[in-house]
Structure 1
């Protein structure tokens, strides 16, 4: 399915929303988060703090109420099932209580290769013929919830030019590259690639896999929370290597750790076509452009010695802005807003996702091309 939902057209093709954003007179929709409401609320409403934020604060519509109690199963307009937490179909409501006018959506913020938690016994095909809508980072989702977005500025922002001297002064001079990663499996393509880079260049690796510790990690009180590793703000380049090589899977690695910290992202995982579609032009370096890791190292060293060329990687800031929308690091999440917008804007004709493997997994992920070591 490549066709965008109405909400997808509004988000990605800049189509106008079909109705007046003043939603006072509109029907009120009930959204039910099934079973894992506490986990979702912590991120999408509380942003991993002690207080609650209004998830519809900057939303184009506000005529939705989010519920967490199972008793709303018969009356809810939309029921959201978080496959990243659900362990199997035995956790779904009984078919007998399903309201035929209700929309059931599956939510996954993870890649198709890691949809379920390690403790789940579920298989994706167990969920065939159950869901009507998808809620994922992909553009063709019924409810698109990307980790971030590139937005065109209405007016050119001359003042957003980077002052090279200032930028350079704020960054480490001896170690140019950093990455935060916690998945250290030996078979990981990205780990092997990093090891090759390390033969020629120092890299600071934060998280479970490396030599550096983030101070904030020790004070973590929320088990699901991604904690910001603030130390990474001191690097000129950031290795935004995703844990899966899947189309459009572009996460906080790029949006937060690179862009929001004024580092140049070196990207791997989300596939070339989608980096070009979704990220600001000339704002990142794609590992795919280099035949071997050594060539990438040479390019980084060259850039570091050539301020005029490094500055070219920030020209986009005059024309675009990037927004983080994932709810991690106390940023605002758009998940509940998007669900409400979808209820207001999308075509609600009956449809069912018959084959989940085909819809969510098939052909969406790629084994990494093997690089030359010589």
Structure 2
């Protein structure tokens, strides 16, 4: 307000009151038009400055619209495991929740791509060679692999080449697990009905593998039905989950035991199917970094295969269901599409070090 009231009833002038001070009435009356115009001009100038100051505050507020983000181009030098890459429309990464990201297999983009990805299997088999002579200065190169160190060879040839790593390892620059648990929306579906004990799907069956040795020790004490190419009982893609769902337990035995190496044998074959995973892989702590501690049975918690078999065979229904308490609030999310994995590069791109080089990729990956 411009005028306030004392308790005595006399008027008190506010902070703008000087313009209405009776002693200054001569600015507006009795001293000629020129003087009045100068006074009005002074007042208008003050108002204009105040308006400009307010506009400047509005323009400089933190909530102003950011500049448009440029689209990143990720060049995949060779699509994993195939000579026929999938279609990559412009909205490929948008469908995975990643904006401003373009995937391409067009090698003519080498000079302009924001990053180039090389899948290791093709480098290992020498189906693909690195274009070192044509590499643009400062361009980040990404080494990608979802295989374990036991099945990864030829890393010694790649010293000082790659800037970033894409893999299942949690300490990767672009971390892409085989799966994870996410908050569930709505009620959980009921557990599938169970009428069989334990299942195992395996293709590569070699006696030197720890998983085969453990199976040999477990089988005399627990009924295990084995499927897959190793036993000439393959399961079609759409048959695997319904088949495993009928079993109480699934042997989520990894082909080798390495840091964070937890594959679809755990996420899809067991958890997504609704069977309790009995895991052989990295230590329990690695699994607990991904799922609750009571969502699986770890073989390392038992002194022998016979002790493990006795625990599984003696489990009652109440105890069994406690291993699935997580399903009330969480669901399984699988990551098996290489397009989604490569789109993750764009999500991490602003946070990745530009001056990093893996001088000893083999030493890092086999640690």
Same fold by TM-score, threshold 0.5 exceeded? Answer: yes
Moved over 6 A (4+): none
Partner SS for 1:255 = helix
Do the aligned partners of residues 206 and 150 (structure 1) sit closer, same or farther apart at CA in structure 2, a change above 3 Å counting? same
2:268 to 251, 256, 273: 256
Deviation per CA, 1:89-147, whole angstroms, max 9, x where unpaired? 7933332311123110100110111125xxxxxx2111010000000001111111110
Task: Note the 1:287-326 alignment, pairs <5 A.
Answer: 287-303=299-315, 306-326=316-336
Task: Note the 1:111-150 alignment, pairs <5 A.
Answer: 111-116=148-153, 123-150=154-181
CA contact (8 A) 1:24 1:63 kept: no
Query: How far is 1:279 from its partner?
Result: 1.8
1:61 to 90, 98, 102: 98
Equivalents in 2 of 1:285, 1:41: separation in Å?
40
Do the aligned partners of residues 213 and 358 (structure 1) sit closer, same or farther apart at CA in structure 2, a change above 3 Å counting? closer
Normalization by structure 1: what TM-score?
Answer: 0.74
What's the C-alpha RMSD, in Å, of the aligned pairs? 2.9
CA contact (8 A) 2:210 2:256 kept: no
Query: How far is 1:85 from its partner?
Result: 2.3
Do the aligned partners of residues 81 and 333 (structure 1) sit closer, same or farther apart at CA in structure 2, a change above 3 Å counting? closer
Normalization by structure 2: what TM-score?
Answer: 0.75
Q: What are the ranges of 5 or more consecutive residues in structure 2 without an aligned counterpart?
A: 1-62
Whether 1:160 aligns to 2:188 is yes
Task: Note the 1:31-46 alignment, pairs <5 A.
Answer: 31-36=74-79, 39=82
CA contact (8 A) 2:252 2:279 kept: yes
* Residue number in structure 2 paired with 1:204: 225
Query: How far is 1:162 from its partner?
Result: 4.3
* Residue number in structure 2 paired with 1:13: none
Q: What are the ranges of 5 or more consecutive residues in structure 1 without an aligned counterpart?
A: 1-19, 117-122, 218-225, 363-374
Do the aligned partners of residues 99 and 185 (structure 1) sit closer, same or farther apart at CA in structure 2, a change above 3 Å counting? same
CA contact (8 A) 1:23 1:61 kept: no
Deviation per CA, 1:296-336, whole angstroms, max 9, x where unpaired? 11111111xx1111110111112332211123xxxx96302
* Residue number in structure 1 paired with 2:182: 151
Partner SS for 1:160 = coil
Equivalents in 1 of 2:66, 2:270: separation in Å?
37
Query: How far is 1:340 from its partner?
Result: 1.6
Equivalents in 2 of 1:315, 1:210: separation in Å?
34
Equivalents in 2 of 1:263, 1:227: separation in Å?
15
CA contact (8 A) 1:84 1:109 kept: no
Task: Note the 1:1-374 alignment, pairs <5 A.
Answer: 25-36=68-79, 39=82, 55-87=92-124, 91-116=128-153, 123-152=154-183, 159-160=187-188, 162=190, 167=192, 170-172=193-195, 175-210=196-231, 212-214=233-235, 216=236, 228=240, 230-303=242-315, 306-327=316-337, 334-343=340-349, 345-362=350-367
Partner SS for 1:295 = helix
CA contact (8 A) 2:209 2:256 kept: no
Where relative contact order (Cα < 8 A, 6+ residues apart) is larger, the structure is: 1
Do the aligned partners of residues 54 and 228 (structure 1) sit closer, same or farther apart at CA in structure 2, a change above 3 Å counting? farther
